[in-house]
A and B are shown apart, each in its own frame.
Chain A
Amino acid sequence: MKLNTREITKKFKDHYFKPICLLLAIILFSSHDLYIKVGYYFLMPNQQSTLSLYNGTFENSENIITRDRMLDASLIAHGQRIAIQADQWKDQDSTITQLSFLTGSAGTYVAGVSTKARNIELTADDFNSYLEHDGVLDMLEQRTNNNLLDQDAVESYQKHVKAIFQVGVTKTDDWSTILGYPIEFIPLANPYEKFSGDQLEVELLLDGEPLPNQLVYADYVKNPYAHSHNDLAQNDNGQQHTHNSESEGGHSHTSGQQLRTNDEGIVSINLPEDGIYYLRTIYMVSVTDSDTLTHQSKWATLTFEVTHTHDASAQTNNTSTHTHDDHDHEDGIPTWIFILGSFLIIGVLFLFFRKND
């Protein structure tokens, strides 16, 4: 029997080699988004909690953030901005950088982290692939229109990320604090006064000015505390960036709502269900006045949680999104009412039966 090596080689190339190369390209050149995630977005006053820097995707963190990269790390509450010192951060399993902190009094809190710019060199194909997979479509279109798709790139990138979380019941105005990052999302209403079914308007600022006509992606994770988006699962993935738009059931860098800021730099985010929402954008420009750089990008993300109701005023909202998240358990018969009521009932019954007996 004659072995047709040419055919076998061709089959191998078609069926295995090319897909593997494509996968490797995605693995190597898909970017790392940066998000701040709070262990729990609804906290009690004086409660220990954790801020985690997810460097990878919203679900999986693959690398820590070294302290020398941090230009700023801040917690904002009650009008005060507290700097997070470099030695307060801890690294977990070389994949997640975390901060343990104690909440103060009730209010809406903001956490922010801003990182220094770094450079990355990419071949033309890799750069094009990254633009496509990360949704930097305006730059991809610009390269296409100007016949620049064959040009390699040296990109300077910097990331500026925020999270908004609620401590106790009292709402404060800290959610609107402008941290002064090169690019940042500023909600135009307190996310914790919005509920599933609502919309939230968010302004995008570039160097303090509204940024019009910018692509913004918004997505959410449903029922975030009930299952496996956890550190163990993330660590199982190891160090390699295995994230791509096909492999994770639609949770790609560009999944969810694709929006564009209006002339005032504002996007309106739909909040269809309960969940943790995350916004991301990459603002990228060509650099013409540098010997080393071809492009510069500024990345921004924002995370917050939305539920269906927190108080009686929201009871008209859609209740079909009911989930038994933990904070549901914090509702219940107030302790003092239960104890007082119990004593009163037992006392009255005791006196009644003693008299009758």
Chain B
Amino acid sequence: MKHINLKQTLTLLLLFIPLLGFAHDVTSADQELLRNGGLLAYIRVGATHMLTGYDHLLFLAGVIFYLKSFTDILKFITIFTIGHCITLIGATYAGITANEHLVDAVIALSVLYKGFENLSGFETLKIKSPNLLLMVGLFGLIHGFGLSTRLQSFDMGQGQILAKILCFNLGVEVGQVLALIPIVFIITLSRKHKQFPAFYKAVNWYLVIAGIGLFAYQLYGYFYGH
């Protein structure tokens, strides 16, 4: 029975992986949608960006992996949400931006950090790990700045700026909830399996590797990209 559960888990993982598929494909199609689609388009693009932004999803997966109770999940996700709302709305409205590759590089480090922490990296190094809730809030601010930088790269026009930002933010939250449902489901299901420890280690080591890879990729983009 447990063997079947593992298969189910992997099957579900396969089913939901395509959500990662478009991975930051914020394209000219999105620009065209925003140009012609009104405020609803901002909700849609915000949701799409969250659902297809693998760095955000990997970080969230890392956070969820560490937590066991629904209350904890709610608490940490709320902090993450407050964090990214502050910078997404604030930075966009104030017109504060930065090089996208550099911001995405820092976001990649957050993925690396979460995997490292989940693998008890701080304990291994005999370092006191920072307050997790605080770190999730801090990374929420950084992820929000990344979302803001991306939003600001669009031609948003001159009218209803705040409404557009809020709609994009709303879309991000909708996307986050939609992404969290399968993530929580898969992780919860996998916990029941006896090989969960191996799965836990595999996924968190993957987060470390992915974090390093994305970090290097973004730095390469910063120094050599066009």
Q: Which residues of A line the B interface, CB within 8 A?
A: 39-40, 42-44, 47-50, 100, 224-233, 236, 307-309, 315, 319, 322, 324-333, 335, 338-339, 342-343, 345-347, 349-350, 352-354, 357
Contacts and interface: CB of A to CB of B under 8 A. Distances in A.
A346 B206 contact: yes
B23 A335 contact: yes
Nearest to A337: B23
A232 B28 CA distance: 20
B32 A350 contact: no
7 tightest A-B CB contacts, nearest first: A349-B202, A353-B198, A350-B202, A354-B198, A230-B157, A40-B28, A353-B201
A353 B20 CA distance: 25
A231 B158 CA distance: 9
B17 to A, nearest CB: 6
B208 to A, nearest CB: 10
B21 interface: yes
A319 B32 contact: no
A346 B27 contact: no
B210 A324 contact: no
A342 B155 contact: no
A342 B17 contact: yes
Interface string B121-160: 0000000000000000000000000000010111101110
Interface residues of B, number: 42
A228 B157 contact: yes
Contacts of A345: 206, 209-210
B142 to A, nearest CB: 18
A224 B154 CA distance: 10
Given A319-B226, A346-B206, A50 B35 contact: yes
Contacts of A354: 195, 198
Nearest to B101: A324
B153 A324 contact: yes
Nearest to A227: B155
Interface string B183-220: 00000000000010111011101100110000001000
A338 B28 contact: no
A332 B226 contact: no
Contact of B155 (A230, A236, A346): A230
Contacts of A233: 157-158
Contacts of B202: 346-347, 349-350, 352-353
Given A329-B27, A339-B21, A342-B17, 11 more contacts: A49-B32, A230-B158, A309-B226, A325-B153, A326-B27, A329-B25, A347-B202, A349-B202, A349-B205, A350-B202, A353-B201
Contacts of B155: 224-227, 229-230
Interface string B4-42: 000000000000011011111111111110011000000
Interface of B: 17-18, 20-32, 35-36, 54, 99-100, 150, 152-155, 157-159, 195, 197-199, 201-203, 205-206, 209-210, 217, 225-226
Contacts of A332: 23-25
Nearest to B58: A342
Contacts of B210: 342, 345
Nearest to B97: A324
A39 B35 contact: yes
A356 to B, nearest CB: 8
A210 to B, nearest CB: 35
A353 B196 CA distance: 10
A326 B153 contact: yes
Contacts of B152: 226
Nearest to A352: B202
B157 A44 contact: no
B222 to A, nearest CB: 10
Contacts of B158: 228, 230, 232-233, 236
B186 to A, nearest CB: 12
Nearest to B99: A324
30 contacts: A47-B29, A48-B32, A50-B36, A100-B36, A224-B155, A226-B155, A228-B157, A230-B157, A232-B159, A233-B157, A233-B158, A236-B158, A324-B100, A329-B24, A330-B25, A332-B25, A335-B21, A335-B22, A338-B54, A342-B20, A342-B210, A346-B203, A349-B201, A349-B202, A349-B206, A350-B195, A350-B199, A350-B202, A353-B197, A353-B201
